[in-house]
A = this chain, B = another copy of it.
Amino acid sequence: MNIALDMMGGDFAPNEAAKGVQLFLSQPKQNVQLILAGDEKKIEQLAKDHKINPENITIVHAEPVIEMHEHPTKALKEKQKSSMPIGFHLLASGKAGAFISAGNTGAMMVGSLFTIKANEGVLRPTIGAYLPKENGDLSLLADVGLNTDCKPENLNQFAVLGSLFAKYILNTPNPRVALVNLGEEEGKGNLLTQAAYALLKENKQINFVGNAEGRDLLRDKADVYICDGFTGNVILKFAESIYDIVQNRKIQDEHFNRFNFEICGGVPVLGVNKPIIIGHGISHAKAFDNMIRMAKKMYDEKLIDIMRNSFTA
């Protein structure tokens, strides 16, 4: 299979992306051809520096770069020849089976929605992120910012998409789904979660375990936590700040080290027609390696087909 990688996205690109490629290819039997989009000369030099086997990579030249602060839609339109739109083009045309970028998150979302598009039957795709449990496992939180205002039916679909991702990619059999809410009992919540609860309860495609409060999110109450993108974004960034504080205060703790969101690489866009991974701006080599492996797994497991079937069958 071919995986397209935006070499210019992220704060430490292209060097950390190149190191990530080297790290990935150094593992046996990957059987993946990486299509590297970015500044050709720089990438060629980095490939030499990091002793990347040229047979495993194809470089597609791209410039200029979409910067982190740029307006997503405008940047994608005006910088068609930069690495991100090129990556989306490789994916859309079938030349790549998955696409990864740690670049401008907003532009990645816009590209996912408008170049690759939602799966048939999916009202709104979603972006998930990981939350660490004290037992070492990860749970998935969705949505974390793609959908700021949601309808109950959106949350119900996020639950299905998140469950399938947890089952096939995070290897969680029969994943438990919980609704993020302000109380445990049925009937608690705002208008959205009250209505979503009723749908989730009746949804035969998921293993719904009820409401989860803020205090449950880092516990082993569920494997998939569902919420609107506003709430999820606030939770995710709050959790990230906890990791920053822990680092800043030089606290060494195995569990809090897992709050390092780079460990997991990037977050998947769920409910679109192709495997897409959005990396954190601060991604280093390990994150790129993880993202490539996750993209490969999404492809190998035929996750997109499974998701599509769950909404159209």
A-side residues, CB < 8 A to B, are 134, 145, 148-149, 180, 182, 189-191, 193, 213-219, 227-231, 233-242, 244-245, 248-249, 251, 253, 255-256
Decide: A214 near B191, CB < 8 A? Known: A134-B245, A182-B230, A255-B245. no
Complex contact B231–A189 (CB within 8 A): no
Which residues of chain B are within 8 angstroms of A238 by Cβ–Cβ distance?
A: 214-215, 217-218, 235, 238-239
Q: In the complex, what's the smallest C-beta–C-beta distance from A138 to chain B, in angstroms?
A: 16
CA distance A233 to B227 in the complex (A): 14
Which residues in B have their C-beta under 8 angstroms from that of A253? Answer: 249, 251
Given that A190-B149, A229-B182, A242-B242 are known contacts, is A237 also in contact with B214, CB under 8 Å in the complex? Answer: yes
Task: For A182, give its contact among B190, B191, B234, B240 (CB under 8 Å).
Answer: B234
Chain B residues with CB below 8 A from A214, complex form: 233-241
Residue of B nearest to A69 (CB): B185
A–B pairs, 29, beta carbons within 8 Å: A145-B182, A148-B190, A148-B191, A149-B191, A182-B229, A182-B230, A182-B234, A189-B230, A190-B230, A214-B233, A214-B235, A214-B237, A214-B241, A215-B238, A215-B240, A215-B241, A216-B241, A217-B238, A218-B238, A218-B241, A218-B245, A227-B234, A235-B238, A238-B238, A242-B242, A245-B255, A249-B253, A249-B256, A251-B256
Determine the chain B residues whose CB is within 8 A of the CB of A248 once the complex forms: 134
A234 contacts B213, C-beta separation under 8 Å? yes
CA of A82 to CA of B213, assembled, Å: 29
- How many subunits of this chain does the assembly comprise? 2
Per the bound structure, the CA–CA distance linking A191 and B239 in Å amounts to 24
Q: Contacts A148-B189, A148-B191, A251-B256 given; 10 further ones with Cβ under 8 A? A: A145-B182, A149-B191, A190-B230, A213-B237, A214-B233, A214-B238, A217-B241, A238-B238, A242-B242, A245-B255
A235 CB contact (under 8 Å) in B191, B227, B234? B234
The answer for the CA separation of A256 and B239 in the assembled complex, in Å, is: 14
Assembly CA distance A213 to B239 (angstroms): 11
Give the complex CA separation of A249 and B242 in angstroms: 15
Chain B residues with Cβ below 8 Å from A234 are: 180, 182, 213-214, 227, 231, 234-235
| Docked CA distance A139–B230 (Å) | 21
The CA of A241 and the CA of B219, in the complex, are separated in Å by 9
Query: Taking CB as reference atom, which chain B residue is nearest A227?
Result: B234
A251 to B227 CA separation, bound complex (whole angstroms)? 31
In the complex, are the beta carbons of A215 and B237 less than 8 A apart?
yes
In the bound complex, residues from chain B placing their C-beta under 8 Å from that of A228 are 190
